[in-house]
Chain A
Amino acid sequence: DAGVIQSPRHEVTEMGQEVTLRCKPISGHNSLFWYRQTMMRGLELLIYFNNNVPIDDSGMPEDRFSAKMPNASFSTLKIQPSEPRDSAVYFCASSLNFADGSNYGYTFGSGTRLTVV
């Protein structure tokens, strides 16, 4: 398996533009997570999906952020409009979650480094 695949690896955009980050989880994994990493706040969860359904989006900063998972093999994180304070590394991760709460194969993507100027 190629692992969790994120694109693009780097994105530089101007303030006010729309940004879309993409993630392909590991085939067979049923949980998908979007995390953000900044120097000030470290790693923090934005949103996660279980079986394509958003479970907890309390970490999404504000209405400018939205995430979708139209099918088991693809998710997007969209920022519209983008602001300089959104500059960060955005990680996608996936895992296989069982009904008893156990978890297997937690894997992170390589991240997207976003710079908003």
Chain B
Amino acid sequence: KNEVEQSPQNLTAQEGEFITINCSYSVGISALHWLQQHPGGGIVSLFMLSSGKKKHGRLIATINIQEKHSSLHITASHPRDSAVYICAVRLKKETSGSRLTFGEGTQLTVNP
């Protein structure tokens, strides 16, 4: 069983829809990242969370430490939001450095 699990694996939406991608983890963490990867492109860090909620434009990320769960929401989705969204965690057991453990990613396609 992966330490980090995302759902759904694939998501297709119509432009304008509200989108939610979920991430659950099974171990203690010190931080959680949401990453975005466009086809053939690099990886962009959208958020780093250790508690609560963060918002940037149409993107909102929340985390519930007790439930070991995080969600990424996209409001008023647009075709340019089409990408793979990856949840990654920094394990609390790490005594030095900040290596990430990744979920398998969610492929989001937003149709016009």
Question: Could you list which residues of chain A lie within 8 angstroms of chain B, going by C-beta atoms?
Answer: 31, 33, 42-45, 48, 50, 55-56, 91, 93, 95, 97, 101-103, 106-111
Show 22 residue pairs from A and B whose CB-CB distance is below 8 angstroms, ordered by the A residue: A31-B97, A33-B99, A42-B104, A42-B105, A43-B86, A45-B100, A48-B99, A55-B96, A56-B97, A97-B98, A101-B30, A101-B94, A101-B95, A102-B30, A106-B48, A106-B98, A107-B45, A108-B35, A108-B43, A108-B45, A109-B42, A111-B42
| Given A31-B97, A101-B30, A108-B44, 11 further pairs, Cβ under 8 A | A45-B99, A45-B100, A48-B97, A91-B42, A101-B95, A103-B90, A106-B98, A108-B35, A108-B45, A110-B42, A111-B43
Question: Could you list which residues of chain B lie within 8 angstroms of chain A, going by C-beta atoms?
Answer: 30-31, 33, 35, 41-45, 48, 86, 88, 90, 94-102, 104-105
